[in-house]
A and B are shown apart, each in its own frame.
Chain A
Amino acid sequence: EAQVTQNPRYLITVTGKKLTVTCSQNMNHEYMSWYRQDPGLGLRQIYYSMNVEVTDKGDVPEGYKVSRKEKRNFPLILESPSPNQTSLYFCASSLYSPSTGELFFGEGSRLTVL
């Protein structure tokens, strides 16, 4: 089954404790992206990657890191999480750039930073 898989789905952590949210897709997509969803703000893009070893900042990259060492994986790293990073995070992928808008989303990872 074609899918984007995120882990963990739910996480409660404390300020400053490094964490990684993994994202994996099995569709051989070149483009991958991370979004955060907050009430009243909708979805905002954090980082995206056009292909292996190619990443770029989205609209809200501060406090986040990403890497794209393999085509299928695009982990989101919070080196020192803070409470304002409490949010619902979505990973998404598409075959190339989202030129057709055919972004495929994971089910989301709900992160709480205390």
Chain B
Amino acid sequence: GNSVTQMEGPVTLSEEAFLTINCTYTATGYPSLFWYVQYPGEGLQLLLKATKADDKGSNKGFEATYRKETTSFHLEKGSVQVSDSAVYFCALRGSGAGSYQLTFGKGTKLSVIP
């Protein structure tokens, strides 16, 4: 079946530091990939997505590139802010019969300190 593996957290960074959160996946066919963000006390929100190999998703200064050769979709941001403190989830939507479900990673908690 499909699976998503994220780097373990928590991750603590100083403001303006560079962020990378690793995400790798296992899937058959041609999955679509997503990053969701969960701010404290809230539900998840879609942050960015990529639907085919070599696509780059971007939003709010975050970027991730769909790398089929390494089955990865790492999240990056050049300069984090305190307001980026949240839990980040990598997710995968399978193709074909698996397209009705999203498979989530376990989440990575990011704390940004001033």
Q: Can you give 12 A-B contacts (C-beta < 8 A)?
A: A42-B89, A43-B89, A43-B107, A45-B101, A97-B99, A99-B93, A100-B49, A101-B102, A103-B36, A106-B43, A107-B41, A108-B42
With an 8 Å Cβ cutoff, the count of chain A residues facing the other chain is: 26
Binding site for A on B (CB under 8 A): 32, 34, 36, 41-46, 49, 51, 89, 91, 93, 99-102, 104-107
Contact A90 B46 (CB under 8 A): no
CB distance from A53 to the nearest CB of B (A): 16
Known: A42-B107, A99-B93, A101-B49. A90 touches B43 (CB 8 A): yes
Apart from A48-B100, A97-B99, A107-B43, 18 more pairs, CB < 8 Å: A4-B43, A31-B100, A35-B104, A41-B106, A42-B104, A43-B104, A43-B107, A48-B101, A50-B100, A98-B93, A98-B99, A98-B102, A100-B49, A100-B51, A101-B46, A101-B93, A105-B45, A108-B43
Contact A90 B44 (CB under 8 A): yes
Binding site for B on A (CB under 8 A): 4, 31, 35, 40-45, 48, 50, 56, 58, 90, 92, 97-103, 105-108
